Structure formats: C-alpha cells, structure tokens
Amino acid sequence: DTEVTQTPKHLVMGMTNKKSLKCEQHMGHRAMYWYKQKAKKPPELMFVYSYEKLSINESVPSRFSPECPNSSLLNLHLHALQPEDSALYLCASRGQTDTQYFGPGTRLTVL
C-alpha cells in the first residue's frame, strides 16, 4: 500500500483565519514533503522533514508553519495568508527508495 492521505480536500479561508492542513502515511516512511502547486505549473517544494526533523525550508514565508508530530503525520499550519497563496497543496512521503508518493492534495482558496 502506497497511500498518502490529506485532509481537508478543500479549504476556503479568510486572510485573518488560522487553519491547518493534515497529511498522514502509514508506510513507515521517514521523509515527508510539502509542495505548493499553482495551476498549470509543476509542484514547488516548500519543506522536507527527515526523521521528524525539518531538513529543508525553501525560504517559505513564516505564515506557513510546518509540524511533524510523529513519523506518520505532517501538518501545515496557515495564518494570515494572502490571496496569492491559493493553490493545491501536496504532501508526499518517501521510504528507503528514491520514490516520492504523493497524496491527493488540499485545494486552498484564500479570500
């Protein structure tokens, strides 16, 4: 089973709201990733966690705050977002091979 789940599927939020995106995998993978994807563009890497430690932050604004509470769960906390942050947010995980397995994504709309 190579399933990565993400909730919610859709999220609409105002610029003053605080919300969180959730990603979960039960494959025993120790690396997890957050990507942002705008329409008609490839995914852009935001964060990488390896063994529950933040390993890469691609200069993402502080209004995005990642968290890895345990080896199966990855959160992305959102606060004071801008309309240009509207996008599809994808989570991925990787085990011992080089393959990343992607979740279905959360479609975020910021009003």
Q: Using CA atoms, how far apart are residues 50 and 11, in angstroms rounded to an integer?
A: 27
Q: Find the binder of another protein among 13, 17, 22, 45 (CB under 8 A).
A: 45
Judged by beta carbon, residue 84 or residue 98, the one nearer another protein is 98
Residue 79 phi/psi, 5° resolution? Answer: -150, 135
Judged by beta carbon, residue 52 or residue 79, the one nearer another protein is 52
* Residue 98: Cβ within 10 Å count: 6
Interface pattern 17-36 for another protein (x via CB under 8 A): --------------x-----
Q: Where are the beta strands (DSSP E) in 38-110?
A: 44-50, 53-57, 64-70, 73-79, 87-94, 100-102, 106-110
Interaction between residue 100 and another protein (CB under 8 A):
yes
Q: Find the binder of another protein among 48, 74, 78, 108 (CB under 8 A).
A: 48
- Coil, helix or strand for 13? strand
Residues of the shown chain interacting with another protein in the complex, contacts defined by CB under 8 A? 4, 6, 31, 40-43, 45, 48, 50, 55-56, 88, 90, 92, 94, 97-105, 107
